[in-house]
Amino acid sequence: MLKRLRENKSAQGALLVSPTMMFMVGLLIIPLVLTLVISFGRRDPDGQVIYDFTLDNYRRLTGFTTDCASGAAFCFNDLYLQILWRSLSLAFRSTLVVILLAYPLAYYIARAQPRRRNTLLFLVLIPLWTNFVIRIYAWIMILRTQGVLNGLVGAILTPVLPLLSGALNPLLASMHLPLVATTFTPLEILYTPTAVLIGMVYEFLPFMILPIFTSLEKIDSSLYEAAADLGANAFRTFLRVTLPLSMPGVVAGTILVFIPVMGTFVVSDILGGKQYILIGNLIQRQFLDARDPTFGSAASLILMVLTLVVTFFYTRRFGFGEEIVPA
């Protein structure tokens, strides 16, 4: 038996991956199938699932219902489509902002002295040591009306604004432009979509920094010299050499950031207020508050399909963040 195993390379491989395979089947494939089955079911008044085959849950997501207050045959409510669109657009915007913030930082780290580089990478990872929920709660302290941010901005602007408005407002008024305020009004950021964006960006920044750093670090410094030697200044070297060669990192980071932002509900729950609902919140509420697992399952699958479609088109265009290898 053992001797046969020693000779059979593919059996060895199967044996080695079997723990992972069991894990994946038990905790991914089976639950996924269950979700699919439940999404076609109905819910009885107590919140129990009645197994059936109905597309009602999916129809409800599209907003078409036959159960109309007006008495019409069917009516349309775009509430859920709005949630889907909001989630998608937030995921795109968050990813974009994360790229813009992470790239310069990753570039700086990659170009630092090796010892300093390790310290910087360590600093990037430190936030991950604290629980995710606690860190998002901390943003309440920063963003609320009486919070750290307003305290700081207020301290700077309060003495400046009267002077500034006194000096500029006559001129601005003569040009019919908006005037400078005379007193500082605290910024209302908490419980707005902006707060959710800030939270998402903060949360997923390290997942973009690390892959970009890795791909930047791999670029042989002789390539920068070669570009300079051939007549490219620093800016053109960056555009023509550094950026294209670090794209695998950007792509990998995008996948690592976009997918979780699409599904996360904690950030919007804590920083967005109850009226800012993303698809993640919708699913969570179906399972926990509304006790409608069938609709929750349908929404989960739609989220998954949506994420897959975006990722599919993205990776078709840019690859999976692998090395640039010729076809």
> Which residues of this chain interact with another protein, rule CB under 8 A?
220, 222-223, 225-233, 236, 240-241, 244-245, 324-326
Instruction: Work out how close the CB of 233 gets to another protein at its nearest, in angstroms, rounded to a whole number.
Output: 6
Q: Which is nearer to another protein, 161 or 228 (CB)?
A: 228
Q: Which is nearer to another protein, 215 or 307 (CB)?
A: 215
Instruction: Work out how close the CB of 219 gets to another protein at its nearest, in angstroms, rounded to a whole number.
Output: 10
Instruction: Work out how close the CB of 223 gets to another protein at its nearest, in angstroms, rounded to a whole number.
Output: 5
What is the rounded end-to-end Cα distance, in angstroms, of the chain? 42
Q: Which is nearer to another protein, 9 or 317 (CB)?
A: 317
CB 183 within 8 A of CB 161: yes
CB 103 within 8 A of CB 321: no
Q: Which is nearer to another protein, 13 or 244 (CB)?
A: 244
Closest residue by Cα to residue 65 from 81, 53, 48, 49:
81
Distance of CA 199 to the CA centre of its chain: 10
Q: Which is nearer to another protein, 116 or 236 (CB)?
A: 236
Which residue is it, tokens 């976009």? 258
Q: Which is nearer to another protein, 58 or 318 (CB)?
A: 318
Angle at 168 between CA 165 and CA 171, to 5 degrees: 135
Considering Cα of 116, then 122, then 125, then 130, what sign does the dihedral take? Answer: negative
Q: How far apart are CA 124 and CA 127, in angstroms?
A: 7
Q: How far apart are CA 237 and CA 182, in angstroms?
A: 47
SS3 state at 309:
helix
CB 311 within 8 A of CB 303: no
